[in-house]
């Protein structure tokens, strides 16, 4: 596995993939570790998680630089990502015990009935490259603290991040085998998931990858949580604060180089404010600094690889050929590295890639609608259903419109984000199940009824 710096095209390091015997040893360690780990008092598991948060804070610059090197995230955003991982450790270190308290039920005289929450066992996590630390801690913090053990199959272009995360848990004092990284390709996932020692799986990634994991898990009757792609609408109504909406919208589309499932991708704008909003959005997009991701002043770094950039540009070009108008950007930058211009497309025809597909890069598609009802209709005109953002000065109106959008999470006057305190996940082809908060920690437990007379 070669780690390639997408800003320079240089090879950073080469990692040897795990052999069949390595995989077997990893699974055996996980199975052995679970037998002891599940019996640890939850307070001990919370204390270890708090220690992992400390390790992250102590090494945040080192881990941030590793992310920037491997997948091109601007360094300021990479530092923020490590800090967010420490926050999720803090959250579950404080709240896991309360989340997993037994729930009582009505019972006949002389009986006590409750639901208790027991861990399942080794959980396989298939994780993406775009948030290489956050996506992993989003699964590891709750699931390990619930008493499961973790097996990470990370994206092949961030092997250094994968091994560094294992280092975090080791330095925090976790027992051997409680969290392990598998350096394997996608072709090996089916065999690992089918192994009897693996009890469940979670995946964040593409639709095809999600379907493949769900199919194998289904054949083996194993629980899964899938967080897949998104084509999130960013709805701007006629009474929105246009300056704030444009500033936030430009950031929501271009954060992390636009490589985010919950990025604002389809801007649905009321006709009464369409021209004014477009002018502001283009101005905000053009003000973003594109460049060296190691520079703290950079807003937008490279795409994660030249191949991904080429795929994005093909979608943009097909949309332009279908009739979309380029208001700014529109192609790769003439420089070394996989840099793509922050782009705004208007007059986007129905059915072209910018309308119907997920564009995983810094490209905003803008749609003009006549009224609120049409805005809701356009927001829901997609197979995806991850997040949505609605902008209006009337909070009651925003709540009403947000309730009518088919998505796992809807935000009014705020960009879509994942937060440890609230459930996160999608509907439709954006996946199923929930991560984070109490809902997330209970995804991979046995909700056991305990009746005592």
Contact (Cβ atoms closer than 8 angstroms) between residue 401 and residue 426: no
Q: Which token pair is 188?
A: 């090996």
**Residue 76: how many CA atoms within 13 Å on its side-chain side?**
12
Q: Are strands 2-4 and 11-14 parallel, antiparallel or unpaired?
A: antiparallel
Determine which helix (DSSP H) or strand (DSSP E) holds 322, and give its type and residue range: helix 306-322
Confirm whether 261 is a catalytic residue: yes
Determine which helix (DSSP H) or strand (DSSP E) holds 277, and give its type and residue range: helix 274-286
Query: What phi and psi values does residue 278 have, to the nearest 5 degrees?
Result: -60, -45
CA–CA dist 208, 201 (Å, integer): 15
Q: Which token pair is 266?
A: 């389809």
Candidates 69, 227, 341, 435; catalytic one: 227
Candidates 261, 341, 409, 435; catalytic one: 261
Q: Long-range contacts for 327-333 (Cβ within 8 Å, ≥24 apart)?
A: 327/278, 327/282, 327/366, 328/282, 328/285, 328/286, 329/285, 329/362, 329/363, 333/290
Contact (Cβ atoms closer than 8 angstroms) between residue 230 and residue 387: yes
Strand partners, 204: 227
CA–CA dist 19, 422 (Å, integer): 39
Catalytic residue list: 227, 261
């Amino acid at each position: 596995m070669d780690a390639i710096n997408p800003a320079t095209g240089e090879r950073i390091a080469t990692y040897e993939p795990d052999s069949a015997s390595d995989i077997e040893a990893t699974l055996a360690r996980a199975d052995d570790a679970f037998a002891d780990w599940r019996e640890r008092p939850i307070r001990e598991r919370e204390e270890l998680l708090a220690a992992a948060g400390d390790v992250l804070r102590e090494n945040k610059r080192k881990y941030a630089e590793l992310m920037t090197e491997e997948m091109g995230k601007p360094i300021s955003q990479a530092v923020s990502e490590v800090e967010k991982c420490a926050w999720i450790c803090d959250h579950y270190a404080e709240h896991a015990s309360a989340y997993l308290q037994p729930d009582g039920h009505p019972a006949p005289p002389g009986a006590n009935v409750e639901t208790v929450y027991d861990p399942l066992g080794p959980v396989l996590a298939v994780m993406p490259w775009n948030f290489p630390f956050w996506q992993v801690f989003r699964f590891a913090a709750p699931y390990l603290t619930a008493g499961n053990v973790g097996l990470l199959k990370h994206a092949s272009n961030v092997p250094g991040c994968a091994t560094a995360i294992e280092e975090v848990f080791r330095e925090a004092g976790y027992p051997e085998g409680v969290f392990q990284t598998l350096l394997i390709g996608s072709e090996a996932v089916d065999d690992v998931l089918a192994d009897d020692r693996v009890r469940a799986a979670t995946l964040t990634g593409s639709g095809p990858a999600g379907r493949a994991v769900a199919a194998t898990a289904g054949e083996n009757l194993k629980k899964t949580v899938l967080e897949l792609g998104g084509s999130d609408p960013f709805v701007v109504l006629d009474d929105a604060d246009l300056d704030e909406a444009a500033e936030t919208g430009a950031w929501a589309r271009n954060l992390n180089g636009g490589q985010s499932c919950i990025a604002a991708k389809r801007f649905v704008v009321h006709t009464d404010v369409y021209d004014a909003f477009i002018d502001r959005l283009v101005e905000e997009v053009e003000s973003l600094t594109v460049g060296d991701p190691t520079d703290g002043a950079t807003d937008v770094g490279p795409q994660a690889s030249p191949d991904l950039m080429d795929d994005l540009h093909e979608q943009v070009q097909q949309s332009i050929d279908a009739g979309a108008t380029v208001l700014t950007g529109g192609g790769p930058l003439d420089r070394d590295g996989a840099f793509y211009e922050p782009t705004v497309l208007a007059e986007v025809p129905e059915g072209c890639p910018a309308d119907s597909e997920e564009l995983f890069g810094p490209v905003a598609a803008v749609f003009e609608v006549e009224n609120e009802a049409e805005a809701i209709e356009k927001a829901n005109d997609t197979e995806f259903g991850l997040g949505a953002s609605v902008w209006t000065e009337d909070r009651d109106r925003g709540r009403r419109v947000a309730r009518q959008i088919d998505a796992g999470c809807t935000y009014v006057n705020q960009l879509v984000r994942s937060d440890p305190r609230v459930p996160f996940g999608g509907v439709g082809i954006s996946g199923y199940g929930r991560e984070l908060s109490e809902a997330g920690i209970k995804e991979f437990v046995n909700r056991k009824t305990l009746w005592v007379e």
